[in-house]
């Protein structure tokens, strides 16, 4: 199998390594564009997906010859935007992975020529796979595979007990669809009431928000790696995924993998991914979100519900579970 994934290297690695453990011979073609990029692994070819840069052409030509010699039975494509990578796929049957049903904002809109070229190429895939029923319905996917976390399972820390639980986290680029105004309004209500246990709301990542954060809110600005954020995320009482627009969210499954309750809105596929008994809260429901902060502020409740979330992840979204479902699709196409 040849896997083409220039932008989502950590997630592609998790899938490729689970498939290798299941007996697949895998080559991952990727790039150094992701913040978690590091030294190439023995199954990776690392290319620079900028065709207008002359220095990128000789390495591409070498790996194009390598791809011809590899002769994959099936090719997986994921957010390919360099036209040269179409040649890497050759004539092998393809499986297209789709994460989102639409752009989250104007900054994710593609130029018209890219939508046309890669839209036609994607439509010629043997099968299209989505990671939620919500996206599958929107794009007419042929199959649904549960979305695993892009955190290497070997890096998952032990479940943090109640005594170590503190704060709530909101991780990722703080774009408008992250619904920060509603989150901050609910946080002010929580901290002004009897349910507050001294926690902070910790924002981690860059963003365009220029409003007033208010008391008991910390913003850790700038790019981050998992090495920087795993400890505070795993110790959190809850992880905010209360978005205005969403398909599914890697932050949501990451929280469950770490044993932290994801707090989600009713948008997109977010309710679909929730552990049993964990509510989805209306996107403008300040009072409901504040009540959830109150409930999870109790460290015993946060630890107990977090443990249930981790078990839900292991049963439904763990790398081996998700890769087994994807492997069935790949085998059907390869045959």
φ/ψ of 163, rounded to 5, equals -65, -20
- pTM here is 0.92
Task: Give mean pLDDT, residues 169-198.
Answer: 94
pLDDT at 273: 96
Residue 175 or 9, more confident: 9
pLDDT digit string (tens) for 87-132? 999 999 999 999 987 665 555 666 776 777 778 888 899 999 999 9
Domains 2-148+319-334 and 153-316 are alike in CATH topology: yes
Q: Mean pLDDT check: name the lowest of 26-30, 113-117, 118-122, 294-298.
A: 113-117
pLDDT digit string (tens) for 232-284? 999 999 999 999 988 888 999 999 999 999 999 999 999 999 999 999 999 99
Per the CB < 8 A criterion, the answer to whether 199 and 237 are in contact is yes
Q: Tell me which of 3.40.50.300, 3.40.50.150, 3.40.50.800, 3.40.50.2000 is the CATH number of domain 2-148+319-334.
A: 3.40.50.2000
SS3 content of the chain, % helix, strand, coil (to 5): 45, 15, 40
pLDDT digit string (tens) for 136-165? 999 999 999 999 999 999 999 999 999 999
Residues 163, 164, 167, 169: is their CA dihedral positive or negative?
negative
Task: Give mean pLDDT, residues 4-16.
Answer: 96
pLDDT digit string (tens) for 50-59? 888 999 999 9
**Is the pLDDT confidence value at 35 over 90?**
no
pLDDT at 269: 93
Domain ranges within the chain, ordered by starting residue: 2-148+319-334, 153-316
- Considering the domain 153-316, what is its CATH architecture? 3-Layer(aba) Sandwich (3.40)
62 confidence band (pLDDT: 50, 70, 90): very high
pLDDT digit string (tens) for 188-234? 999 999 999 999 999 998 888 888 899 999 999 888 888 888 999 99
Per the CB < 8 A criterion, the answer to whether 172 and 246 are in contact is no
pLDDT at 107: 56
pLDDT at 116: 77
């Amino acid at each position: 199998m040849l896997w083409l994934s220039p932008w989502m290297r950590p997630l592609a690695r998790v899938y490729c390594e689970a498939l290798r453990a299941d007996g697949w011979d895998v080559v991952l073609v990727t790039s150094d564009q992701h913040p978690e990029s590091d030294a190439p692994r023995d199954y990776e070819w690392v290319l620079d997906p900028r065709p207008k840069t002359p220095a990128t052409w000789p390495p591409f030509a070498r790996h194009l010859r390598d791809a011809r010699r590899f002769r994959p039975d099936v090719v997986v494509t994921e957010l390919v935007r360099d036209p040269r990578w179409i040649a890497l796929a050759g004539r092998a049957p393809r499986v297209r992975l789709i994460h989102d049903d639409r752009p989250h904002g104007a900054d994710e809109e593609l130029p018209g020529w890219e939508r046309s070229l890669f839209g036609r190429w994607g439509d010629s895939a043997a099968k299209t796979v989505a990671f939620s029923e919500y996206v599958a319905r929107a794009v007419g996917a042929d199959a649904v595979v549960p979305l695993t976390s892009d955190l290497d399972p070997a890096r998952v820390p032990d479940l943090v007990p109640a005594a170590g639980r503190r704060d709530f986290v909101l991780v990722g680029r703080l774009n408008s669809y992250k619904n920060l105004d509603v989150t901050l309004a609910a946080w002010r209500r929580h901290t002004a009431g009897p349910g507050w246990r001294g926690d902070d709301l910790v924002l981690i990542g860059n963003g365009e928000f220029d409003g007033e954060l208010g008391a008991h809110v910390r913003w850790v600005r700038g790019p981050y790696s998992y090495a920087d954020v795993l400890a505070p995320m795993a110790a959190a009482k809850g992880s905010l995924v209360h978005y205005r627009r969403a398909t599914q969210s890697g932050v949501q499954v990451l929280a469950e993998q770490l044993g932290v309750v994801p707090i989600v809105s009713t948008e997109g596929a977010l309710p679909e991914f929730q552990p049993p008994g964990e509510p989805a809260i209306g996107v403008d429901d300040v009072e409901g979100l504040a009540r959830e902060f109150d409930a999870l502020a109790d460290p015993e409740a946060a630890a107990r519900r977090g443990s249930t979330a981790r078990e839900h992840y292991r049963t439904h979204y763990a790398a081996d579970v998700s890769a087994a479902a994807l492997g069935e699709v790949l085998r059907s196409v390869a045959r």
